[in-house]
Amino acid sequence: DQRVVAKVLDVDQSAQQIDLSLKDVNDHQRKEKIQEWKNEQKADNWMELAFGDDVSDERYAAVATAILAEFDSLYKGFEAAAIHGTEALDDVDLDDEEIEAIVDTARENVSVPYVTVTGYVDLECPDGDGVDVVREALQAAEGNGEIPVRAGGPNGSSGDEQNESSGVPEEIELSVTYVGAPEYRIEVQAPDYKTAEDHLEQSAERATRVIGDHGGTGEFHRERRVEDE
């Protein structure tokens, strides 16, 4: 079953005729359109998995219309649901049960593209409890618990202390590993480069803020300085 991609040159409705050109479509455009078609075939299958292969045409059309009102394609809607969960469908005009069905199906079937970025942070604290402080900083870097924030900034000496949530979204994978004192590697996997970079920098900032609040020093850098042990 061969598929071809053609460019529409002219449409003559009175003659019910469409003029097409194969040679005006380059290889990149051809591959892109065929992939889009394949993706929509997948999305059609996911719709049946989510709502049953006996889903009525009316319900299928209603759900599809709601998704397409917010996304360029059904595939994009399922992909967003796989990455961000129900939050991705907040603006889609569907009830909770329908959204849950889409998210569950998406997370079981959609292969989400991820990018990985890496950075390093040096953490040092001369205090007697420096080991515990570094451990606390690493926990903050990983997004565990809450970290103190003072009105005067990371090393501020005045203002009330407040707690800031350092949780990492579930679509982000973040790990911190030991390289060699005082250096630690931060690795982030995310759906896109910008998101990965943002969470990498935020992770390092959380760690250096904690270490700074205890009189230590922290520095974020992109290249490794210590050889792996």
- What stretches of 72-129 show up as alpha helix (H) in DSSP? 74-84, 96-109
b/e sequence 104-127, b meaning 16+ C-beta within 10 Å:
ebbeeebeeeeeebebbbbbebee
pLDDT reported for residue 161: 40
pLDDT reported for residue 92: 95
pLDDT reported for residue 199: 92
| All domains of the chain in start order, with CATH | 7-109 (1.10.150.190), 115-221 (3.30.70.1130)
Which amino acid belongs to residue 136? E
The pTM (predicted TM-score) of the whole model is 0.54
Counting as low any pLDDT under 50, the low residues of the chain are: 145-165, 228-229
Cα 52 to Cα 76: distance, rounded to the nearest angstrom: 20
Lookup: tokens for 42: 């997948």
Question: What is the distance, to the nearest Å, from the Cα of residue 87 to the centroid of all Cα atoms in its chain?
Answer: 12
Characterise 180 by phi-psi region: left (phi > 0), alpha (psi -120 to 50), beta (else).
left
**Bridge partners (DSSP) listed for residue 184:** 121, 178
Cα 113 to Cα 92: distance, rounded to the nearest angstrom: 23
